[in-house]
Amino acid sequence: MVKLAIIGGGDLGQQILEYANVLGVNVVGFFDDTIDEGTFKYGVPILGGIESIKKSFTNKEFTHTIIAVGYNHLKFKEALWNKITELNIPFYSIIAPSVYINPSATVEDGSFIMPGVVVDQRSKIGKGSVINCNTTISHDSEVGAFSFLAPGVQLSGFVKVGSRTFIGTGSVTVDHVIIGDDIKIGAGTTVTESLTEVGTYIGSPSKKL
């Protein structure tokens, strides 16, 4: 049986906890450096800080983990992922019941996918990604590792999103474009051509700030 520990006790951690409860996944607690060990948050215990993870796993207090780090700290999330991987701790994905994932699509471990998301044919969600409510990832598209897609994002077919990329609420991307690593796209942006230079893009069509 899965005993899930969530790394990060903030708002995203609370969301993951709620959907884990819906799915019947046993959440044993949070790891968080900013909250006192032994206290409770959202009704579950704080197991300790990040340095407590190895000992807790060795003691079989949990079997899997998921990282609840938001879109402002995606490089930190990747570094933390690498550290947990070195400890041979398995990651777990939380996928809301209403999500549609085509049988030919792939969702890698440690992802969090919220209600109303469509992951179409032959598409891929990279490890540790967050895909928010009512987002559509059309056929043959790819979302890179540790990326964060806000509510209502629409990716057309054959789109490639890089790693650690944030795409804001209601953004639309036409087909066959590439969005590079570490790029941020503001809410309501329309992406009509590939974006490769790191930065923040807004507008319709998108322009770099």
Cα–Cα distance for residue pair 63/1, rounded to 1 Å: 8
pLDDT digits (tens, 9 = 90+) for 141-164: 999 999 999 999 999 999 999 999
pLDDT of amino acid 47: 97
Contact 99, 123 (CB under 8 A): no
Kindly indicate the confidence band of residue 12, based on its pLDDT and cuts at 50, 70 and 90: very high
pLDDT of amino acid 172: 98
Task: Tell me whether residue 173 is exposed, middle or buried, using C-beta atoms within 10 angstroms of its C-beta: 0 to 12, 13 to 18, 19 or more.
Answer: buried
pLDDT of amino acid 52: 96
pLDDT digits (tens, 9 = 90+) for 41-61: 999 999 999 999 999 999 999
Residues 6+ apart with CB under 8 A from 147: 74, 126, 129, 130, 161, 162, 163, 164, 165, 166, 167
pLDDT of amino acid 160: 98
CA distances (Å), 25 to each of 10, 39, 77, 91, 108, in order? 19, 21, 23, 13, 18
Q: Are strands 26-31 and 44-48 parallel, antiparallel or unpaired?
A: parallel
Mean pLDDT for the stretch of residues 115-139 = 98
pLDDT of amino acid 23: 97
Kindly indicate the confidence band of residue 21, based on its pLDDT and cuts at 50, 70 and 90: very high
Average pLDDT score over the chain: 97
pLDDT of amino acid 206: 97
Mean pLDDT for the stretch of residues 128-139 = 98
pTM value? Answer: 0.96
